[in-house]
Amino acid sequence: MTALISDRAGLDAFCRTLAGVPYVTVDTEFMRDRTYWPQLCLVQVASPAAAVAIDPLAPDMDLALLYAVMNDSSILKVFHAARQDIEIFYNATGKVPAPIFDTQVAAMVCGFGESASYETLAAKLAGAHIDKTSRFTDWSHRPLTERQLKYAIADVAHLRMVYDKLSAQLDRTDRHGWLDEEMAVLTDPATYRLAPADAWKRLKVRSSNRRMLALVRELAAWRETAAQQRDLPRSRIIRDEALLEIAAHAPATIDELARTRGLGRGFAEGRFGGEVLAVVARVAKLPESDYPMPVPRRDLPQGIGPLVELLRVLLKLRCEEHHVAAKLVADSEDLELIAGDDAAPVRALHGWRAEIFGKDAIDLKHGRLALTAAGKRIKLVRTAGATAVAQ
């Protein structure tokens, strides 16, 4: 049988075996289709010597000992695509597990592409084939099948070798420091705080109408609070499209609200409808000074498009040479900013990113570096006054 821990005594015994281990690999299975907060259904943990699944839904289970391991600074916690897993631990304890190592980010640093999947890394680094048929199973249903448990534990079992191989490659290339910035974001509690006052920012509204923006802000805050209090997905309260339409038209009556696409009279006449109209009325009384400022439009200078494309070619070339994912170095917005400003506030012009791309980008802008074709390859041609060495 697969190792399944379903009581406090079993968890206590397993956690005692973790004393002194350098790292554990961690994964979670959860459900959030019908809830706002993710419902933790299974936790998989592997040390160098053992791999287990822990059932948080078992009647005689207390995860306090597991949470203590997550907060033990002497044990490295290894995840793949860690953000959602860490969010679960943060919601449960108010703390972010630390220190952590995200194999997806490490894979980008090591040249495995933009967003290397766990299946890809397991195959290439651990020689393992992952059976994905249980991925979208109902993890809240009990009892769990042996097939589900094997699938779940395989994730952390193979992750050990994936971590070992990536860590060794980072040692060889002296790139552990390249991960620091990404890990800092993942270990920052602010990354996981779901403040209703900031909920409107995820909608990314590009309007210059400040009154509409104020309505988006207040409606999004209302929806976030309502969803959290009722433990319902945001879309079960009101969908993004309807929220934005209400913000655009500012309905003042039930009849006007009922004409919003996707809502109808039932919503308008119900409790939520009354609360929405109250938000609209409250915003109508706000002074304009309380309205949020629109995001400034950033129009590219005329004729700069070709330069942005040259920078994109340079980025791809340099990242292929250094075996690092371009996404980790710069994105399209960064390239546009660099094209318009030598001192653009982008990370591509600082630290290791500047060494492999940023300095060359500035040289390319000012004619100190050129791109040319040699057969099927693009080459860099250095001219006088360059600040970096072309490869």
Q: Which backbone phi and psi does 266 adopt, to 5 degrees? A: -60, -45
C-alpha separations of 174 from 110, 169, 178, 242 in Å: 11, 8, 9, 50
Q: How confident is the model at residue 2 (pLDDT cuts 50, 70, 90)?
A: low
Q: Tally the C-alpha atoms within 13 A of residue 347's C-alpha that lie toward its C-beta.
A: 11
150's tokens: 């094997």
pLDDT at 1 over 70: no
Give me the mean pLDDT over the 234-257 stretch. Answer: 97
**Token digits for 78?**
């290894």
* Amino acid, res. 83: R
- pTM assigned to the model: 0.89
Long-range (24+ apart) CB contacts under 8 A made by 361-369 are 361/311, 361/314, 361/315, 361/335, 362/338, 362/387, 363/387, 363/388, 364/310, 364/311, 364/314, 365/307, 365/311, 365/338, 365/339, 369/314
In which element (H, E) is residue 28 found?
A: strand 23-31
Residues ≥6 apart with Cβ < 8 Å to 163: 23, 25, 78, 101, 103
Same fold across 4-191 and 196-290: no
Closest of 3, 22, 29, 40 to residue 77, by C-alpha: 22
Please, what is the Cα angle at 246 between 241 and 248, to 5 degrees? 95
Average pLDDT over residues 243-261: 97
Q: Token pair for residue 79?
A: 């995840």
In terms of Cβ atoms closer than 10 Å to its own Cβ (0-12, 13-18, 19+), residue 25 is buried
Report pLDDT for 242.
Answer: 97
CA dist., res. 387 & res. 43, Å (int): 50
Other CB atoms within a 10 A radius of the CB of residue 349 amount to 21
Segments making up each domain of the chain, as ranges: 4-191, 196-290, 305-382
Q: 4-191: which CATH topology?
A: Nucleotidyltransferase; domain 5 (3.30.420)
| Res 387: pLDDT | 54
Distance CA 107, CA 119 (A): 12
Report which of 106, 86, 84, 80 is spatially closest to residue 98, judged by C-alpha positions: 86
Nearest to 248 by CA among 291, 215, 279, 281: 215
Write down the pLDDT at residue 389.
42
The answer to whether domain 305-382 has CATH 3.40.720 is: no
For 133-182, how does the pLDDT look when each residue is reduced to its tens digit (9 = 90+)? 777 889 999 999 999 999 999 999 999 999 999 999 999 999 999 998 88
Q: What's the average model confidence in pLDDT over 231-257?
A: 97
Task: Give me the mean pLDDT over the 197-212 stretch.
Answer: 94
- State the pLDDT at residue 299: 73
Cβ(227)–Cβ(234) below 8 Å: yes
27-65 CB burial, b ≥16 within 10 A, e <16: bbbbeeeeebbbbbbbbbbbbeeebbbbbbebeebebeb
What is the reported pLDDT for 374?
Answer: 86
- SS3 label, residue 114: coil
CB 96 within 8 A of CB 90: yes
pLDDT per position as a tens digit, 47-95: 999 999 999 999 989 999 999 999 999 999 999 999 999 999 999 999 9
Mean pLDDT over residues 352-360, rounded? 96
What's the pLDDT at 386?
Answer: 53
User: What angle do the packed helices 305-322 and 332-340 form, to 10 degrees?
Assistant: 120
Class of domain 196-290: mainly alpha
Question: Is residue 66 within 8 Å of 15, Cβ to Cβ?
Answer: yes
How far is CA 6 from each of CA 42, 54, 91, 196, rounded to the nearest angstrom? 10, 6, 22, 36
pLDDT per residue as tens digits for the range 10-43: 999 999 999 999 999 999 999 999 999 999 999 9
| Cβ contacts of 299 within 8 Å, gap of 6 or more | none
Note the pLDDT of residue 391: 42
Tell me: cis bond preceding 196? Omega within 30 of 0 counts: no
pLDDT confidence of residue 390: 42
pLDDT digits (tens, 9 = 90+) for 262-311: 898 999 999 999 999 999 999 999 999 999 999 887 777 788 899 999 99
